Amino acid sequence: MPATSHDVMPDIELYQPTDEANALELASTLGSDGWLLGGGQDTYGWLKDRNKTPAAMIELTQIDAWKGVKEIPDGVEIGAVTTLSEIAKHPLIQSKFGLLATAASRVASPQIRNVGTLGGNVAQDARCWYYRRGLDCYRAGGNICYADSPEGLNREHAIFGASRCVAVSPSDTAPALVALDATMVVASSSGQRLIPAQDFFVGPARDIVNMTVLNEGEILTAVRLPNAWANAEFYFEKVADRNVWDFALVNIAAAIKVSGGAIEDARIVCGAVECTPRRLDAVENAIRGQQRSEQLAEQVASIATDGARPLNYNQFKVPLMQNLVKRAIRG
Amino acid sequence: MAYMHIGKDFVPPDVVGKVTGRIKYSEDYSREGMVYARLLTSPVPHGRVVNIDAAEALAMDGVFGILTADDVYPDGEPQSPGLKVLTNEPTLVGEPILAIAAIDEKTAETAMAKISLTIERLPFVLDPLDSLEAGGADAYTGGNTFVFREGFAQEKWTTDQVASFRSGNEPTAEAQQSWAYGDLEAGFASSDFIHETVFSTAGYPHMSMEPRSAMAYWENGKCYLHGTSQSLSAIAEEMAGIVGVPLEDFVFINEATGGGFGQRARAGSIPSMAIPAKLSQKINRPVMMRVTREEEFTIGGARQGLQGWIKVGFRANGTMAAMDLYCISDNGGKGGGGDANSAAAGVSALYQTEAMRFRNSSIGTNTGHRGAQRGPGENQIMAIMAPIMDKAAEQLGVDRLEIRKLNAAQNGDVSGQRSEPFTSAYMPEALELAAKQFGWEEKKGRARQTNGSKVRGFGIGQGYHNAGRSGMDGIIRLMPSGRLQIHNGVGNLGTYSYASTSRAAAEVLKMPWENCDVITGRTDRHLPITSPQDGSNSIFTNTRTCYGAAQDLLGKMKEIAAMDLGGNPADYDIDGARIHQIADNTVGMSYAEVAQRGMELGGKYTGEAELPEELNTLTQLSVSRLAGSALMGIYHDPRHNNNPPGFAVCLTEIELDKETGKFQILDMVNIAECGTVVHPQGLANQLRGGAVWGIGLSALERHLYDPQNGLPASSGFWQSKIPTYLDTPLNIGTGWVDLPDPENPVGARGIGEPSMGSVSAALNAAISDALGGHLFDAAPVTTDMIINHLADVSSKAVPLAQNNFRG
Amino acid sequence: MGEIVRYKRDVWGEEVILGVSWDLLWVIAVAVLVLLAANAIIMAALANKKMDKPSAEGRRVLRHETIDRLFHWVMAASVLALIATGIAPILGLRIAWLNLHWMAGLLLTFVVVFHIIRSFFWQDFKSMILGPKDFGEPFDSAKKPGKYSFEQKGMHWAVTVVVLAVIATGVTLFLQIDSPFWDRTNSMAEDTLGLMFLLHGLSTLALIALVATHIYFAIRPEKLFYTRSMLSGWISEDEMTANHDTSRWSPKEAD
Amino acid sequence: MNPKLTRRRFIKGVIASGAAVTSTSIWYAANGAERPAGSVERLIRINVNGQMRSVDVAPQETLASTLRYKLGLTGTKLGCNRGECGACTVLVDDTPSYACSVLTHSVKSMRIETVEGLQSANGDLHPVQQAFVEELSPQCGYCTPGQVMAAVGLLRANPNPTREEAQQGMAGNICRCGSYDSYLNGVMRAAQIG
C-alpha cells in the first residue's frame, strides 16, 4: 500500500521541437505516452505527484509559428502557446477583444500568466481535488465519484451537465473564447481541423476522461477570433475565494452587440458551473431585441439557471450565476 | 522616559541576509556525503501498521536505509497524545510512518513505492460531535479524549444530547472542564438584552512558508541538527531528549525560521526534526529531510476548531452582566490544544463581564494535529463575539464604540478564572486612539449605505492575549575589545525580537548598537534559556532577562571600577562606553579596560563562581563553556506579578457586493496597547501581519477533510486559502498607545497574537454590519455563505460541522 | 495482456477490483467467431446429407403468441442497445451513452419481470423445462423435442442466467449513479462496487457471446423458420412434424 | 480499444507488482515502442546572474532544482514546489517566473536572475533590497527572495508604479507573516531610490 508524499519530478524524456512538422510527428508517434507541454503550469503538479505518468513531454513553446498575435483577414489569430500575460497586454486584443484580455488577466497569478499559455489554459484538466489527489475516480478511469455524494466536498463542483463526474471547467479564458465565437485550430500529422470553441470542450456524458475533443496526436495550435464580435460590449467577471490563484467559483463572459439602443445579438457564457463552458442560449434569446437595462437584467437572470441541479454544497452557485448574468446584461 | 534604543528603529542584523537570500534556513545547508530522506506517511485516517516490508526498496541502488517507529521507540511508542517522531499507530492521514534515505529525493520516492505496508484500518471520526454520540468512532486507540495523568478515555453523550446541541440548544452533558466566577443567574436576571446561540469556528493549518525541513549529522559523538524553531534554547533540551543524546552533545543550528505561529515553539510540536538525526546515526551519513508542503500541512499543526454555545447578557446601559460559554474543542488526531480555555479567558479580559461560566470538553478527531496557533482560542472567539457586541449595542441603543469602552479593561481590572489583576491595562485609550486614527465619528454614518449592489459595513474588533512570562535566564559578555555580546536564544522567525529584546541590555549599558553583537543562531554559541517564543511573550520575558543580565554586568563593572579606581561602586556611572566616577568623569575606565580587568580577576566576573541560583540546565552549560572568556553578566529572572496583557483594537470599513458575496476592505487601522514600544517597525509588522491573519480567520481559511474517508483536501496552498496581496487592504494603518507597564523594566508587553484577534473580530463585525446585522455565528464567513444568506438558500451543510466546513 | 480483472486503488491506496478487463471483449469475439465458423463449416459439410427442407406451406400452427413475440423483440432491442451503449465508451466513441444504457436496462428489467410472471401463470412453463432426458436429444436423431429443442432450451436458460446476472448487477450499479429517481450515494464499499462491475462485465461478455450465437442460429437457413415464427407467430405443420414430437407439443392452429 | 485504458492499467499493473517505472528506457522496453530521437541533451550551459554556467540537467529538472542543488543558489526557496506561493520567483529574461514550475531546459537560452545576482560588484544592495531593509519589509524572510525578485521584475517593467499597480504586480507571492503592506512600502520606496 504505497502512499507517499511525492514531490519531485520523476524521470521523463523531454522533446523540444522547433518546427511544427516535428512537433506533430512526435505527438503522433508518442500518442498517449507523450504529454503536450505548454507553459507547464498544469503539468508539473501531476508529474511530481506521480498521478500522471507520461513517458515524455513534448514542449510546444519553442515553436515560433504557434506564438504571438497576428491579424488575419477575418479577425485575429492567437498562437496557442502565446502567454496569458502577452494576451492580456496585447494592444490588438485589448482594443478589439478586451473580453479575452480581461479574462487572461484574471487567471491565477502574475507569474503563472507570464509562463502559462492560452492553449494550456483552455486545455487544462479538471480541478476537482479528489481527482487531483490522484484518486482513481471516474475521470481517472475508475468507477466512482467521491465528490457527488451526500457527504462529498462539492462546493466547487457542477450544477449543470453532470454525468457521474461533477468536475467543472476551470478555465477563465474558455468562456471568453466561446463568447467571442472563436475557432480552435487543431493540427495533427494528418492535417488540420477547425473547431468552434463551443464544440471544443466535452462533458463527462460523452467523454469522462478528457475535457476537450482533442484526439491523441492532435495539437491545438491557434485560436482565431472573428471580427464579427470585435468591439462588442463586453463583460467579464470572475468570483473566486481569493483574488489571486484561486479558480472561479463562477465566472462569466459576455459579448453583446447593441445597435440603436437595442441588443442585436449576444453571446453569454459561464464557467465553473459545468464541465464545459456553459453557453446561456435561453438568456441570449430572451434579451435579443431588448433594451439593455436593469429591468431586463432582473427579468432574465433566472432563466440562466433553469435546469440547474446543485449538489449539497454548491447551491450558492445558482444565485451567484444569476447575479453575474444580471451584471453582464446590466453592463 | 528618554531611551537610547528602546522605541527606536534599527536594522536587525539578519535583515540584509534575508533580502540577499544569504541567510540560511535548515534546507539551505549541505554537508559532504549528505543523502536525502523522504517520508512514507499514513494513507488512512486511523490504523495500525501490521507489517513493513522494505526489502525490495533497500535492495535498490542508491538507497541507504530506513527508519521506522520501531527504531525510534524500541520499547514501544509512548501511549500519550502529541506527535510522535514516527508511528505505527497513525491517527490522521499523512502521519509519518517511516523515512527512507537515498542518494537523491527521486530515488527515495521511487524506493518508497516498493515498500509494502500492511495496515489494519480502524474506525475514524472527523467531527467531535460524531465521536461524542453513542456508538460514534473514537479517534484514538483507547478513547476520544485524553485525561491528564490518567490516559486515553472515552467521552460519550446520549444521542438526544448531541441532537439537541446540534439543533441549537445549550449542551446538557457534563463538561470535562469548567470554571466560573460571579453570580451567573443574577447576571442574566438583571440583563435587558440576552443573546444566545450556537457557533462554530474552523480549524486550519499553520502553513508557515518554510516547511519544517531538517538536516542532521554526527561528528565525534555529537549530533548537529539544522532545524527550525521559535526558540533555539527553549527547544534544545527536549529535542536532545527526543534524539536521545545528552544535552552537552547536542548542537542545534537555526539561523532563521520561516515562520512559526505557535507550532515550532516546543520540541514536542516538531519531533520530526529527530528523523534525520536518528536516520543519520543509523546509516552514518548526513541526512537532509526536506519536508514537502503537504507534509508541512499534516505535521505542521493546526488551530483547533470550536463548536460551542454562548449566552451573553447586557444591562440597559450596555455593560455585560453575564456570559456563559460552552465549547466542544476539536483536539484533532494527536490531542492537544487549549483554545477554549484561552477563548474564555480572552472574553473575560476584553469584556470584563461581571459573571462568567466556562465549560469545555475536548474531543479527538482523525484530522490534523492541533496546537497553539497565533492567538489560539481568543482570536476565534473574538470573531464570534464582535458581531454579538454590535447586536447588543443596536438593541440597547448604545454606540458601538461606547459599548466597548464601557466594558473595556482598565488599570486595576482583573480577568479570568482566578480573577487575576492586569499588570496594567489601557483598553479605553486604545479604543479612543483607534477611533481617532480611523476617523470613526466622521465615518460611522456611512454604515449600511448602499451604492448599487454594494453596501458599506464597519467593524470594531478587540484582541487580547496574556503576553508575558518570566523566570528565564540572561547571559551577556563584555569582551576585552569592548564589544558587548548579548546571548539570546529567542528564535529568529521574523519578529526581530531576538534583536529587539537584546537592545534592553544595550540600553542599560548605554552601548551604541554598532558595538553590540547578538549571539544566536546555534546552541554551541552558548545561549541562555528563553521562554519559547510563543504566547506573545518574548518582548516582555526577554527584555527582563537581557535587562537583568546587563544590570548584573553593570554591577560587576562598578565593583571593578571601585576596586581599581577607589570609592564605592555606587560612586560610578557609565557613559560613552566608559565607566567613570560620578563626581569626576575623567576618572574612569573604558569598557574594553574594564572587561580586560574583569578577565584578570576571574571568578564571579567571568562566570566561574557565584552564579545565580536556579539557572536552567542549558544556561548552566552555556555559562560553563563561556566561563573565563569575558566579563560576564549572568541573570536569573524572578517571577513577575499579575497578568501582563497584550491588547489590540482594529477598526475597519468594508464594501460588500451583495451580488457576488465578495467584499473589499476599504480602510483598516490596527492599534496596539502593549506597554512601551520597543521596536516600532517590528511592532508595525506585527500589527500588519496580524491583520492578514485575522482576514484569513474571518473570511478564508478552514480545514477541509472529506467526511467519507478522512482525506485532507486543504493540504496545499490551493485549498488552504492563505490571504494574498489582493485579499488584503492596500494600506493597514498602525498605531500604539505606548504607556509603560510596571512589571517590565522597559515597560513592554507582547502583541503578536492580539494584533490578529482585533482584526478577525472587526472584519466579522463589518460583514455582519454590511448584511444588516445578520449573525453567521461562524468563522470564517466565506463567499458562498454570504451568497446563500442573501439568496435565502439554506445549505444542507451541518451548521456545527467545522472540519468539513460547508464543503 | 491476458488479465481478466482490472484493479485500481481505493481511496486509501489499497488495491481493489475495478472491473473486467475489456481485452476479454476481443477474446470473446474471437472465440465466438471461431466456434460459429466451425459450426458453419460442419453444417455446410452435413448439408448435402440432409433431407429436403420441410415446406412452409399448408396448415399453420401457433408457435409464439403476439405478446411473447413482442416481448422477445423488445428484449432483443434493449439487449442490443445495452451492448452497443456499453461498448461505445470502451471503444473510445464519444457519445452520451449512459442515459441510453440505463433506460434500455430499465426496459429490459421491466420486460424480463413481465416475462417471468407471465411464464409462471400464463405460459406452458413445462415446455421450457430442461430435464435430464433432454440431454440425449442431440445424440439420437430419432428423438424429437416437444415445443422447444434441447438447443433452444439451453440457449433460453443460459440467456436467463446471464440476463438475470446482468440485470442484478446492473441495477446495483444503477443505484450508484444519479438518476431522475434518486441521488447517488457512496454507500457501497469500493471493493464491493468493483466486484459488481466485474460481475456486470463478465455477464456482459457472456451475454455478447450468447447473443452472437443466438443471432447466428436464428439466421441459419435450416432454423430460419423459427425466426419467422418469432415474427409472425406460426410455423407450418410440416415444419412442426419434421422437428417436433407432436405427442409432446400440440399447438393450436394459427389464425 | 481505448489506448488510455490500456496504458493506465499497465501502470497500475506495474505499480501493483512493485516494479515502479523508474526510467523511460524501462518504459519503452515494456511498451515495445521505439523512443523517438531528438530528446534533449543533458549537458547545457545556462546564463545565471550574468555568468555562463555548465551544468548537467536532467530532462525533467525544474529550474529551482538546478539553481538550488546544482548551482548552490539556495536563495531561491521552495515554499510549495507547486507554483502556489511564489517563494521560488526568479527572473527569466526579466520576467518573474516560478522556478519550481519551469523546466531548466525550457529556459536554457534565456537570462536567469536570482536573488544572489542583484547586489552590485562593490557590494551595494539593489535598490529593492535597500528599500526592503529600510522598510523592514521581511518578517520571517522565507518568502523574501521571491518578493525581491517579483519587485525587481515589476519595477523593470514599470519603474514608477502606483501602489495599486505594485499590489497587482506583487500578487503572485504569498507572505504567511502577512508583511504585504511592508513589502509594498518597500516597492514604493525602491521606485523612489530608482
Residue to test with chain B: of C9, C10, C11, C15, most B Cβ within 10 A? C11
Q: What pLDDT is attached to residue D26?
A: 36
Establish if A319 touches chain B: CB-CB under 8 angstroms.
yes
Residue B700: closest C-alpha in chain A: A241
Residue C20: closest C-alpha in chain D: D9
Residue D32 pLDDT more than 50? no
Establish if C191 touches chain D: CB-CB under 8 angstroms.
no
Residue A162: closest C-alpha in chain C: C178
Within 8 A of D5 by CB-CB distance, chain C residues are 22, 90
Q: What pLDDT is attached to residue D31?
A: 43
Q: Which of residues 52-81 of D touch C (CB under 8 A)?
A: none
Q: What pLDDT is attached to residue B324?
A: 98
- Return the number of CB contacts < 8 Å for A and B: 150
Establish if B261 touches chain D: CB-CB under 8 angstroms.
yes
CA C189 to chain A, closest CA, distance in angstroms equals: 10
Taking an 8 Å cut-off on Cβ atoms, the answer to whether D1 and C26 are in contact is yes
Within 8 A of C21 by CB-CB distance, chain D residues are 9
Taking an 8 Å cut-off on Cβ atoms, the answer to whether C177 and A164 are in contact is yes
Q: What pLDDT is attached to residue B795?
A: 61
CA distances from C169 to C19, C106, C166, D166 (A): 12, 12, 5, 61
Residue B752 pLDDT more than 90? yes
Average pLDDT, chain A: 96
Radius of gyration, alpha carbons of chain A: 20
Asked whether the CA dihedral A139, A141, A142, A143 is positive or negative, the reply is positive
- Return d(Cα B125, Cα B143) in angstroms, integer: 12
Establish if C68 touches chain A: CB-CB under 8 angstroms.
no
Q: What pLDDT is attached to residue A87?
A: 98
Residue with cell 511573550: B537
Establish if C185 touches chain A: CB-CB under 8 angstroms.
yes
CATH 3.30.365.10 holds for B469-636: yes
- Summarised one tens digit per residue, pLDDT across range A277-324 is 999 999 999 999 999 999 999 999 999 999 999 998 899 999 999 999
What average pLDDT score do residues D120-148 get? 97
**Confidence band (pLDDT; 50, 70, 90) for B796?**
low
Subunits adjacent to chain A (3 or more Cβ pairs under 8 Å) = B, C, D
Q: What pLDDT is attached to residue B568?
A: 97
Q: What percent of chain C has pLDDT over 70?
A: 97
Residue to test with chain C: of B709, B711, B796, most C Cβ within 10 A? B709
Domains B306-412+424-468+642-790 and B469-636 share a fold: yes
**Confidence band (pLDDT; 50, 70, 90) for B613?**
very high
Taking an 8 Å cut-off on Cβ atoms, the answer to whether C90 and D1 are in contact is yes
- Summarised one tens digit per residue, pLDDT across range C191-207 is 999 999 999 999 999 99
Taking an 8 Å cut-off on Cβ atoms, the answer to whether C7 and D10 are in contact is no
Q: Which of residues 228-247 of A touch D (CB under 8 A)?
A: 243-245
Q: Which of C11, C14, C186 is opposite residue B711, by nearest beta carbon? A: C11
Q: Which residues pair with D45 in a beta bridge?
A: D54
Topology of the domain covering B27-122+210-299: Aldehyde Oxidoreductase; domain 3 (3.90.1170)
Within 8 A of C12 by CB-CB distance, chain A residues are 1, 3
Residue A54 pLDDT more than 80? yes
Q: Which residues pair with C16 in a beta bridge?
A: C8
- Summarised one tens digit per residue, pLDDT across range B209-253 is 999 999 999 999 999 999 999 999 999 999 999 999 999 999 999
Within 8 A of D4 by CB-CB distance, chain C residues are 92
Residue C53 pLDDT more than 90? no
- Return d(Cα B770, Cα B387) in angstroms, integer: 11
CA distances from C209 to C77, C154, C202 (A): 16, 14, 11
Q: What pLDDT is attached to residue A4?
A: 58
Establish if A159 touches chain C: CB-CB under 8 angstroms.
no
Q: Which of B106, B660, B711 is opposite residue A323, by nearest beta carbon? A: B660
CA D19 to chain C, closest CA, distance in angstroms equals: 15
Q: What pLDDT is attached to residue B797?
A: 54
Within 8 A of B43 by CB-CB distance, chain C residues are 12-14
CATH 3.30.365.10 holds for B306-412+424-468+642-790: yes
Q: Which residues pair with B288 in a beta bridge?
A: B36, B215
- Return d(Cα B497, Cα D136) in angstroms, integer: 13
Residue to test with chain C: of A132, A144, A202, most C Cβ within 10 A? A144
- Summarised one tens digit per residue, pLDDT across range B518-544 is 999 999 999 999 999 999 999 999 999
* C-alpha dihedral (B70, B75, B77, B82), degrees to nearest 10: -120
Q: Which of residues 86-125 of B touch A (CB under 8 A)?
A: 94, 105-106, 109-110, 112-119
Taking an 8 Å cut-off on Cβ atoms, the answer to whether B256 and D81 are in contact is no
Neighbour tally for C36: CB within 10 Å: 16
Average pLDDT, chain B: 96
Amino acid present at C136:
G
What average pLDDT score do residues B143-154 get? 90
Residue C188: closest C-alpha in chain B: B708
Q: Which residues contact C196 (CB under 8 A, 6 or more apart)?
A: C169, C172, C173, C188
CA D169 to chain A, closest CA, distance in angstroms equals: 7
Residue to test with chain B: of C10, C12, C183, C186, most B Cβ within 10 A? C12
Within 8 A of C193 by CB-CB distance, chain A residues are 143-144
Domain residue ranges in chain A: 63-330
Residue A164: closest C-alpha in chain C: C177
Residue B425 pLDDT more than 50? yes
What average pLDDT score do residues B89-96 get? 96
Q: What pLDDT is attached to residue C241?
A: 86
**Confidence band (pLDDT; 50, 70, 90) for D25?**
very low
Residue B479 pLDDT more than 80? yes
Establish if A160 touches chain C: CB-CB under 8 angstroms.
no
**Secondary structure class of A269 (helix, strand, coil):** strand
Taking an 8 Å cut-off on Cβ atoms, the answer to whether B711 and C186 are in contact is no
Q: What percent of chain B has pLDDT over 90?
A: 96
Asked whether the CA dihedral D36, D42, D44, D48 is positive or negative, the reply is positive
Within 8 A of C11 by CB-CB distance, chain B residues are 708-709, 711
Q: Where are the alpha helices (DSSP H) in chain D?
A: 3-16, 24-31, 63-65, 127-134, 144-157, 163-170, 180-193
Q: What percent of chain D has pLDDT over 90?
A: 79
**Confidence band (pLDDT; 50, 70, 90) for A3?**
low
Establish if B43 touches chain A: CB-CB under 8 angstroms.
yes
- Closest by CA to C25, choosing from C13, C16, C33, is C33
- Summarised one tens digit per residue, pLDDT across range B247-260 is 999 999 999 999 99
Q: Which residue has the higher pLDDT, A70 or C1?
A: A70
Domain residue ranges in chain B: 27-122+210-299, 306-412+424-468+642-790, 469-636
Considering the entire predicted model, what is its pTM?
0.95
Residue B721: closest C-alpha in chain A: A242
- Summarised one tens digit per residue, pLDDT across range B365-382 is 999 999 999 999 999 999
Subunits adjacent to chain B (3 or more Cβ pairs under 8 Å) = A, C, D
Question: Mind listing the domains of chain D with CATH numbers?
Answer: 43-117 (3.10.20.30), 127-193 (1.10.150.120)
Q: Are B663 and B657 contacting, i.e. CB atoms less than 8 angstroms apart?
A: yes
- Return d(Cα B733, Cα B649) in angstroms, integer: 11
CA distances from D25 to A15, A43, B68, B111, D84 (A): 15, 22, 33, 18, 32
Residue to test with chain A: of C10, C12, C94, C175, most A Cβ within 10 A? C94
- Summarised one tens digit per residue, pLDDT across range A89-123 is 999 999 999 999 999 999 999 999 999 999 999 99
For the question of an ipTM over 0.85, the answer is yes
Label residue B553 left, alpha or beta by phi (over 0 means left) and psi (-120 to 50 means alpha): alpha
3-class SS letters over B188-217: HHCCCEEEEEEEEECCCECCCCCCCCEEEE
What average pLDDT score do residues B256-265 get? 96
CA B88 to chain D, closest CA, distance in angstroms equals: 22
**Confidence band (pLDDT; 50, 70, 90) for C247?**
confident
Topology of the domain covering A63-330: Enolase-like; domain 1 (3.30.390)
**Confidence band (pLDDT; 50, 70, 90) for D24?**
very low
Within 8 A of A133 by CB-CB distance, chain B residues are 711, 713
Taking an 8 Å cut-off on Cβ atoms, the answer to whether C11 and B121 are in contact is no
Within 8 A of A146 by CB-CB distance, chain B residues are 706, 708-709
Q: Are A166 and A128 contacting, i.e. CB atoms less than 8 angstroms apart?
A: yes
Q: Which of A8, A146, A314 is opposite residue B706, by nearest beta carbon? A: A146
Residue D1 pLDDT more than 80? no
CA D32 to chain C, closest CA, distance in angstroms equals: 13
Q: What pLDDT is attached to residue A2?
A: 44
- Summarised one tens digit per residue, pLDDT across range C121-143 is 887 777 788 888 878 777 777 78
Q: What pLDDT is attached to residue D17?
A: 33
Q: Which residues pair with D56 in a beta bridge?
A: D43
Residue B55: closest C-alpha in chain D: D18
Residue B727: closest C-alpha in chain D: D171
Taking an 8 Å cut-off on Cβ atoms, the answer to whether D115 and B261 are in contact is no
Q: Which residue has the higher pLDDT, B807 or C165?
A: C165
Q: What pLDDT is attached to residue B150?
A: 85
Provide CATH code, domain C66-243.
Answer: 1.20.950.20
Q: What angle do CA A244, A247, A249 make, to 5 degrees?
A: 115
